[in-house]
């Protein structure tokens, strides 16, 4: 991701902030995440985005990238009923869209 870690962290900590860097566009079956845990500027844990899976968590890990900017990775911590392959694919695709397309777009990429 293009920005430094502290800027990326702030945008992930407040994804629905208004203005030029608003980027979190939710689907009908989604809700805004709440930051459950924060270790500025390297780690955030979001609550679930999905109304039907309220106990899931999304761990966001940030680090400076050797070429400049930031490296961003995520881990889904699924709770409750096991995820079937179709749901796993949907969730992975959706998180990828939000982070590596919608968020990246606000930085001009």
| CATH code (residue 88) | 3.30.310
pLDDT of residue 11: 93
pLDDT of residue 49: 95
Task: Please tell me the pTM assigned to this model.
Answer: 0.91
**Segment-wise mean pLDDT, segments of 10 residues, the chain, 109 residues:** 95 80 89 96 96 94 94 92 81 94 90
Range of the domain at 30: 5-105
With a CB cutoff of 8 Å and minimum separation 6, the contacts of 75 are 58, 59, 61
Pinpoint the alpha helices (H) of 59-102: 85-97
CB 44, CB 12: distance < 8 Å: yes
Number of structural domains found in the chain:
1
pLDDT of residue 60: 98
């Amino acid at each position: 991701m293009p920005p430094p870690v502290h800027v990326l962290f702030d945008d992930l900590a407040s994804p629905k902030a208004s203005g030029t860097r608003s980027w979190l566009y939710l689907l009908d079956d989604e809700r805004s995440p709440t930051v459950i845990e924060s270790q500025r500027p390297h780690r955030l844990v979001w609550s679930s985005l999905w109304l039907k899976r309220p106990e899931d968590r999304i761990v966001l890990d940030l680090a400076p990238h050797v070429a400049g900017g930031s490296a961003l990775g995520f881990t889904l911590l699924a709770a409750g009923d096991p995820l079937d392959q179709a749901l796993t694919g949907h969730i992975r695709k959706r998180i990828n869209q939000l982070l590596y397309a919608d968020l990246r777009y606000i930085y001009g990429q």
